[in-house]
Structure 1
Amino acid sequence: MNPIDRQILQIALPSIVSNITVPLLGLIDVAIVGHLGSPAYIGAIAVGGMLFNIIYWIFGFLRMGTSGMTSQAYGKRDLPEIVRLLIRSVGIGLAVALCLILLQVPIRQAAFQIIRPTEEVREMATLYFHICIWGAPAMLGLYGLSGWYIGMQNSRIPMYIAITQNIVNIMASLSLVCFFGMKVEGVALGTLIAQYAGLLMGLVLWMNRYGKLKKYIVWKGVLQKEAMIRFFQVNRDIFLRTLCLVAVTLFFTSAGASQGEIILAVNTLLMQLFTLFSYVMDGFAYAGEALSGRYIGARNRKAFTDTVRHLFIWGAGLTVLFTLVYASGGNAFLALLTDDRNVITAADTYFYWALAIPAAGIAAFIWDGIFIGATATRGMLLSMAASAVSFFAVYYGFHTVLGNHALWLAFLVYLSMRGAMQTLLSRKVMEKSFH
């Protein structure tokens, strides 16, 4: 196997495993409360889980920004800066977590004003939220650690952390619910324990694998003005980009819901095809983050160019594979998710939109990783903002004529626009990275 392909797969494959395990934490909680005898328990976990997904999604810049800057420092072999980046990222993550804990009541109240759950669900979701919010230091600390590990070309440790969290979550939640008679609070405590188990695992593995870097742990330079300005500029762009992404995603769900339960169910099921594709492609995006940043830091333009080319070759192959699999087995997959014939029949009308997702989204995923590695976050923000505008323009321009088809058309235009704009910006990014 080509050395570049080997490097890509060494980072991509463990990252894919990590990505797939992430939703398992939520699924485990739902499966446990689903046997407690009331649908309100499921509703409470769904509402609480959605709130934390959005909160942590918004602060995902802590992982992405750290990954790009660390990979460049790794390429330069700048060990003191590598350690300073870890301290900065984890420190800022813990500061943000403290703010979330202090503001937990107004955050919860604002969220419930938007979601408006039933009184029973609200009561249980409140209990779940005020327990799980104490996991924010663990989760945001892990974001910094995970981004740092990927920047260090090591995606195996994040995989071990994710697997540990799932095992601990299953054991703790089941024990608290089955043996101690707890309900929603047991599931919330199980999740909380799993989050801190993951952080502990991450720290123990750091000591084991990178303990020799302890000699570089000095506070001098951590808060250096220029370094902090760059850190916040990179993360500000990613933060604003994430807000655009969240806006499109939430609007997609809400626009489907406004068309009735059947359309909402259809869109939710078909989006699972996008989610599966994204789990795999994100693994290759992580490889792009680590390797492109490394070669930019090392000033190795040829290795960078070869890596970009090989990432797109892998992306093209996976696009063909996913399209063929979805075309041949997509309906069978939907049948596994639901036995409602009305939903499955309605899904046939929109299925061809889902078939186009891999081709429309491939460039966006690959370029995202490369741009993060290059810390070209302004280009990411501009392309995402323009794509979000195009999404809303297409939807509002055609929804009266095309109905739900306009929503899917807008989503595919949005994905394609992201990739197209980043392709146009890529030459400028490369020139700036190697000037």
Structure 2
Amino acid sequence: MNKEILRLAVPNILTNLTVPLLSMVDLYLMGHLNSTLFMGAVALGGVIFNFVYWGFAFLRMSMSGVAAQSFGRGNRQEMALVLQRGLMVAFSGAALLLVFQGPVGDFSFWLLEGSEEVKVIARDYYAIRIWAAPAAISLMVFYGWFLGMQNALYPMLISVSVNLLNVLSSVVFVQVLGLKAEGVALGSVIGQYAGLVIALILFFRKYQWAWHFFTSRLELLRVGFSKFMNVSGDIFIRTLSVIAVFTFFTSRSAGIGDVTLAANSALLQFALLFSYFLDGFAFAAEAMVGRWFGANDKRTLRKTIGFLFYWGFGLGALFTVLYAVAGDQLLHFFTDQQEVVDRGSDFLWWVVFLPLVSFASYIWDGVYIGATASVPMRNSMVIAAACFFFLPFFVLFPYLGNHALWLGMLLFMLARGVILTILFPRLLR
């Protein structure tokens, strides 16, 4: 069982690690310019794309669960139609986003807090990076579908290629051509479209059979479309709750001050690094749980979940020790501006505890996605965000300041895991 988990988890870990690596490089490039404004601007602009891309993350999540269950049943036609439905939704959403990019940007910058100097730079960043949206959203569909096919290697190859090209392009644009925030935005555009080309090449290399099942017959597409959209709708609401938490976290950090925004952005990379690492096992859970649900094998399902939690706890303990020992050194990696490092050190201890309190929420996410149990996922996330992040923050911010943001984040992560643990026996029945 451990061998099968690692076969799926390790490529996903390598895939996920390239994502925080990219954010870290962007922060590094901006953090070593001559002003804290660039670091804050890329963080603020990044919030908008987190909102946009996480808003479409329901495609990857619903794709992996539904495709894995079709794989477990051995239904090739349905496997192919799952991919076609996902790509149809992705193309439609991307087209709308490009058409309405102006109003989306205006509303986002009106909603977000931050100094006018930071927003001017962030707008330039947004105007360039928005053109990566069609490729980025389509890649979510391919990532989820490949994983549902029990193939973790292809998402790894695509993601590593995307992010390496992104990093290399950003370094050239910023450090050689002097483009600053516009440079890292252009790097994102180049990386995403290169990744889409690679995804298509890999798809036709191994899964050309699926292309022959694609259809223009609406009755075939409608058969499973309602289930796909129901699951997608629940996951969309669940994802909006996550977006609300992280968007508010960054926006409120900007409202406190530019230095706090830069420090919190750096510290948030610690939490994201762990989450992307542990998501490798969550993605393995999606593929394996979906497969055993599709095959109706509850005995293997229980055994799989038990092993996944052993891995989750071990990694949570490891990262807690790592951040306790090397947290200050990691802060210095992100920026050489001492005022940002000093501010970040004041709140570093919150990040130390995040891995241990949050590992269960990531593993359960993978389990529930694989089971396409979208309703409890939606409800638990809404409750955790409203009652354990926003409520404690608004009550305690007048007394704790920035510490209230980090306390809310800790309680939010803990509550997600606890609620899903309580709901699991009902899911199994």
Q: Does 1:206 align with 2:198?
A: no
Q: Give the superposition deviation at 1:137.
A: 1.7
Q: Give the superposition deviation at 1:41.
A: 6.5
- State how 1:10-159 maps to structure 2 within 5 Å: 10-26=7-23, 45-115=42-112, 125-159=122-156
User: For the residues of structure 1 that align with 2:404 and 2:291, how far apart are their CA atoms?
Assistant: 41
Query: Do the aligned partners of residues 47 and 351 (structure 1) sit closer, same or farther apart at CA in structure 2, a change above 3 Å counting?
Result: closer
Partner of 1:397: 395
Q: Does 1:430 align with 2:428?
A: yes
- Could you state the TM-score of these two structures normalised by the residue count of structure 1? 0.87
The Cα offsets for residues 26-70 of structure 1, whole Å up to 9 and x where unpaired, read as 555666678898877666655544322321111111111101101
Partner of 1:238: 235
Preserved contact between residue 81 and residue 221 of structure 2 (Cα < 8 Å) = no
The Cα offsets for residues 364-396 of structure 1, whole Å up to 9 and x where unpaired, read as 110000000001111011101111122222223
Please say which of residues 405-414 and 123-132 is displaced more in the overlay: 123-132
Partner of 1:277: 274
Output the amino acid matched with 1:422. Answer: L
- Could you state the TM-score of these two structures normalised by the residue count of structure 2? 0.88
Partner of 1:411: 409
Report sequence identity in percent: 39
Q: Does 1:248 align with 2:236?
A: no
Q: Give the superposition deviation at 1:236.
A: 0.7
Q: Which has the higher contact order (CA 8 A, sep 6+)?
A: 2
User: For the residues of structure 2 that align with 1:162 and 1:189, how far apart are their CA atoms?
Assistant: 17
User: For the residues of structure 2 that align with 1:272 and 1:413, how far apart are their CA atoms?
Assistant: 18
Q: Give the superposition deviation at 1:123.
A: 6.2
User: For the residues of structure 2 that align with 1:34 and 1:345, how far apart are their CA atoms?
Assistant: 14
Query: Do the aligned partners of residues 317 and 124 (structure 1) sit closer, same or farther apart at CA in structure 2, a change above 3 Å counting?
Result: closer
Q: Give the superposition deviation at 1:363.
A: 1.1
Query: Do the aligned partners of residues 309 and 237 (structure 1) sit closer, same or farther apart at CA in structure 2, a change above 3 Å counting?
Result: same
2:207 counterpart SS class: helix
Q: Give the superposition deviation at 1:143.
A: 0.7
Preserved contact between residue 289 and residue 371 of structure 2 (Cα < 8 Å) = yes
1:237 counterpart SS class: helix
Preserved contact between residue 84 and residue 222 of structure 1 (Cα < 8 Å) = no
Partner of 2:378: 381
User: For the residues of structure 2 that align with 1:311 and 1:124, how far apart are their CA atoms?
Assistant: 43
Partner of 1:420: 418
User: For the residues of structure 2 that align with 1:175 and 1:331, how far apart are their CA atoms?
Assistant: 28
Please say which of residues 176-185 and 124-133 is displaced more in the overlay: 176-185
The Cα offsets for residues 177-231 of structure 1, whole Å up to 9 and x where unpaired, read as 7898977666544432321110110010011111233332233467544522111
Partner of 2:212: 215
Root-mean-square deviation (Å): 3.0
Please say which of residues 332-341 and 131-140 is displaced more in the overlay: 332-341
The Cα offsets for residues 88-109 of structure 1, whole Å up to 9 and x where unpaired, read as 0011101000001111111122
Q: Give the superposition deviation at 1:82.
A: 0.4
Please say which of residues 28-37 and 227-236 is displaced more in the overlay: 28-37
The Cα offsets for residues 161-183 of structure 1, whole Å up to 9 and x where unpaired, read as 11222343355556677898977
Which of residues 322, 328, 332 in structure 2 aligns to 1:331? 328
Please say which of residues 342-351 and 191-200 is displaced more in the overlay: 342-351
Q: Give the superposition deviation at 1:343.
A: 5.4
Preserved contact between residue 87 and residue 222 of structure 1 (Cα < 8 Å) = no
Unaligned runs of 5+ in 2: none
Output the amino acid matched with 1:8. Answer: I
- State how 1:307-326 maps to structure 2 within 5 Å: 307-326=304-323
